[in-house]
């Protein structure tokens, strides 16, 4: 599918909502499946990646039902091996599904195989499998450290507690290890080099787990007794980010996205756009599902400024760089991203993909091993390719609000934000 927007003839305006948060949705469903009793989760987003988690759990024998109005009901299996022994659970394109399930299978002592699409089979799994092996988990990968992941029986003596420092900040890896640690013999201590999203810690704590966060270290006591959960998922700040960037690159825009999650480990995009000179106001702050939630109003100026992004801000905006690069393409001066090597291991090699696709649109952009530098005001338009990456597809399409752009292979956006085109049109006409 090709996607192109008409150039915006006037500022973008509107008040809207976005679907529920994918990171929280994955966790709510997975944790509900190992809890006691029935969980009820409202505002559950139905997209490619959340279907991957549901499909994989269903192959393992977990029953869940999604109503037309977005209420997911999950029958908890308790902290026992999943009913379908030695099943092959297909995780599609979803790295969150395969990595969090890997930790869960380890903790439960479930024998099964986790596999996925060609794209998922290219992504590194040693970062989860290696620390799990040090706990005594019987798990194999391909010789390249990729999926399929095959889990054998739990050792008779149980799992060793883990003491581990992650080489790169990753919520997926941290979460996998926390889930395995729930089924270990003693307290595990997991440390990471930067502040990755902490949804797992918050949600499991709310379900009764004994998890203490102290700076970048998490202490996890074994816990096989999780309470069912219920509540409404906040809107996805990562989906809202595309709308914020759309409004940021069209001067004079004024949009409000209501009810989005504002967990500080996820709000890097708001800081980046503020640094670029847009005005951001947050209203109606409240708590839903144990997470901070609010309505966010963004007003753009005539100009955006180029910015430099590195360090913790990279971790707090890890999924937003394709969109940030597009904002940089319409800013004054240079936008420089450094210390973002991790982007090379996402749905695509996102550094190369951002650079190549923005070059295809005429932008002056330079690639570094750990980031890129884009000179604003140089993008002319043309044809970009999604490269099987939903965030790249949506971001490149946004450039079309300023110059003529066609994105090929844009159907991949179904993975995360099926109503993206509708949402952008609702604020741009
Ligand atoms: C996610 C964590 C991030 C992010 C991904 C979702 C999660 O990955 O890029 O889209 O839900 O835990 P890493 O933890 O590997 O950085």
Strand partners, 20: 235
CA distance 299 to 280: 7
Give domain status of residue 1, yes or no: no
Domain end position, chosen among 194, 211, 231? 231
> Do 82 and 187 reside in the same domain of the chain?
yes
Burial class (CB in 10 A: 0-12, 13-18, 19+), 380: exposed
Q: Is 137 helix (H, G, I), strand (E, B) or coil?
A: coil
Q: Are 229 and 279 in contact (CB under 8 A)?
A: no
pLDDT in tens, 156-200: 999 999 999 999 999 999 999 999 999 999 999 999 999 999 999
Residue nearest to atom 4 of ligand 1 (CA): 319
> Does 174 lie in the same domain as 159?
yes
Nearest to 202 by CA among 193, 194, 212, 192: 212
d(CA 149, CA 204): 24
State the closest ligand 1 atom to the C-alpha of 27, by its place in the atom list counted from 1: 11
Q: Looking at the structure, do residues 264 and 411 belong to the same domain, yes or no?
A: yes
Quick one: 145 and 265 in the same domain? Answer: no
Q: Do the domain assignments include residue 2?
A: no
Band (429; pLDDT cuts 50, 70, 90): confident
Last residue of a domain, one of 231, 247, 282: 231
* pLDDT tens readout for residues 275-333: 999 999 999 999 999 999 999 999 999 999 999 999 999 999 999 999 999 999 999 99
- Pair 195, 240 in one domain: no
* Ligand 1 binding pocket includes 23 (Cβ within 6 Å): yes
The answer to whether residues 297 and 170 belong to one domain is no
Is 254 noted as a catalytic residue in this protein? Answer: no
pTM of the predicted model, to two decimals?
0.98
Ligand 1 centroid to residue 195 C-alpha, Å: 12
Between the CA of 341 and the centroid of ligand 1 the distance, in Å, is 14
Confidence at residue 96, expressed as pLDDT on a 0 to 100 scale: 98
Q: Report if residue 413 sits inside a domain.
A: yes
User: Do 277 and 245 belong together in one domain?
Assistant: yes
Q: Does residue 59 have its Cβ closer than 6 Å to ligand 1? A: no
pLDDT at 319: 98
Q: Is 319 in the pocket of ligand 1 (CB under 6 A)?
A: yes
Q: How many domains does the chain have?
A: 2
- Both 283 and 364 in a single domain? yes
Same-domain check for residues 177 and 258:
no
**Of 201, 231, 261, the domain-final residue:** 231
What pLDDT does residue 271 have? 98
> 319, 349, 364, 419: which one is catalytic?
319
**Angle, nearest 10°, between helix axes 268-275 and 237-248?**
10
The answer to whether residue 333 is domain-embedded is yes
Burial of 156 (0-12, 13-18, 19+ CB in 10 A): exposed
pLDDT digits (tens, 9 = 90+) for 108-139: 999 999 999 999 999 999 999 999 999 999 99
Statement to judge: residues 129 and 177 lie in one domain: yes
CB-ligand 1 contact for 50 (6 Å cutoff): no
Q: Is the CB of 93 under 6 A from ligand 1?
A: no
In a domain, 6, yes or no: no
Closest listed residue to residue 394, CA positions, set 247, 236, 241, 212: 241
Q: Is residue 161 part of a domain?
A: yes
Distance CA 70, CA 86 (A): 31
Ligand 1 pocket, mutate which of 26, 99, 172 (most atoms under 8 A from CB): 172
How sure is the predictor about 240, in pLDDT bands with cuts at 50, 70 and 90?
A: very high
Q: What is the mean pLDDT of the chain?
A: 98
CB 96 near ligand 1, within 6 Å: yes
State how far the Cα of 226 lies from the Cα of 179, in Å rounded to an integer: 12
User: In angstroms, rounded to a whole number, what is the distance separating the alpha carbons of residues 232 and 255?
Assistant: 23
| Distance (Å) of CA 386 to CA 84, 217, 397, 420 | 36, 37, 9, 15
As a whole number of angstroms, the distance between CA 157 and CA 416 comes to 41
Cα 273 to Cα 19, 157, 207, 234, 277: the distances in Å are 21, 52, 35, 21, 6
d(CA 326, CA 331): 9
**Residue 164 sits in which domain range?**
22-231
Per the domain annotation, does 4 fall within a domain? no
Q: Render pLDDT for 353-389 as a digit per residue (tens, 0 to 9).
A: 999 999 999 999 999 999 999 999 999 999 999 999 9
Q: Do both 181 and 249 map to the same domain?
A: no
Q: Which of 186, 214, 185, 187 is closest to 201 using CA atoms?
A: 214
- CA–CA distance, 120 with 182 (Å, rounded to integer): 26
**Which of the four pLDDT bands, split at 50, 70 and 90, describes residue 202?**
very high
Residues 276 and 420 in one domain: yes
Q: What is the DSSP string of 348-380?
A: S-HHHHHHHHHHHTT-EEEEETTEEEEETT---
CATH number at residue 56: 3.65.10.10
Q: What is the tens place of the pLDDT at every residue in 71-94?
A: 999 999 999 999 999 999 999 999
Average pLDDT over residues 234-242: 98
Classify residue 410: in a domain, yes or no.
Answer: yes
Phi-psi domain of 109 (left: phi exceeds 0; alpha: psi -120 through 50; beta: other): left
């Amino acid at each position: 599918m090709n996607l192109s927007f008409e150039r915006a003839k006037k500022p973008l305006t509107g008040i809207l909502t976005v679907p529920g948060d994918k990171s929280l949705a994955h966790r709510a469903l997975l944790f509900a499946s190992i809890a006691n009793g029935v969980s009820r989760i409202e505002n559950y987003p139905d997209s490619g990646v959340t279907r991957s988690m549901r499909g994989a759990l269903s192959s393992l024998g977990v029953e869940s039902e999604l109503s037309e109005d977005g209420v997911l009901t999950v029958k908890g299996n308790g902290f026992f091996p999943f009913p379908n022994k030695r099943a092959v659970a297909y995780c599609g394109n979803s790295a969150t599904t395969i990595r969090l399930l890997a930790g869960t299978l380890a903790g439960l002592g479930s024998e099964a195989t986790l596999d996925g699409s060609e794209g998922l089979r290219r992504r590194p799994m040693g970062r989860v499998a290696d620390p799990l092996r040090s706990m005594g988990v019987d798990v194999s990968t391909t010789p390249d450290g990729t999926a399929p992941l095959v889990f054998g029986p739990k050792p008779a003596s149980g799992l060793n507690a883990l003491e581990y420092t992650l080489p790169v900040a990753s919520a997926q890896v941290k979460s996998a290890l926390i889930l395995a640690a729930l089924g270990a013999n003693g307290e595990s201590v997991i440390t990471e080099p930067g502040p990755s999203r902490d949804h797992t810690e918050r949600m499991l704590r709310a379900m009764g787990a004994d998890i203490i966060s102290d700076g970048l270290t998490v202490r996890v006591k074994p816990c096989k007794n999780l309470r069912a959960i219920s509540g409404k998922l906040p809107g996805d700040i990562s989906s809202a980010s595309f709308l914020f960037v759309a409004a940021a690159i069209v001067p004079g825009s004024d949009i409000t996205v209501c009810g989005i999650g504002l967990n500080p480990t996820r709000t890097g995009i708001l800081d980046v756009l503020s640094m670029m000179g847009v005005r951001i106001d947050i209203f109606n702050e409240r708590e839903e599902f144990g997470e901070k939630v609010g309505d966010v109003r963004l007003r753009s100026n005539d100009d955006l400024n180029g910015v430099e992004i590195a360090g913790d801000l990279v971790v707090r905006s890890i999924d937003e760089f394709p969109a940030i690069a597009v904002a940089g393409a319409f800013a004054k001066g240079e936008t420089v991203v450094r210390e973002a090597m991790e982007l090379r291991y996402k749905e695509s090699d996102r550094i190369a993909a951002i650079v190549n696709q923005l070059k295809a649109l005429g932008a002056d952009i330079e690639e570094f091993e750990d980031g890129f530098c884009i000179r604003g005001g140089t993008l002319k338009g043309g044809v970009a390719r999604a490269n099987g990456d939903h965030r790249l597809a949506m971001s490149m399409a946004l450039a079309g609000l300023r110059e003529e752009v066609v994105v090929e292979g844009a159907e991949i956006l179904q993975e995360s934000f099926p109503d993206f085109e509708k949402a952008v049109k609702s604020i741009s006409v």
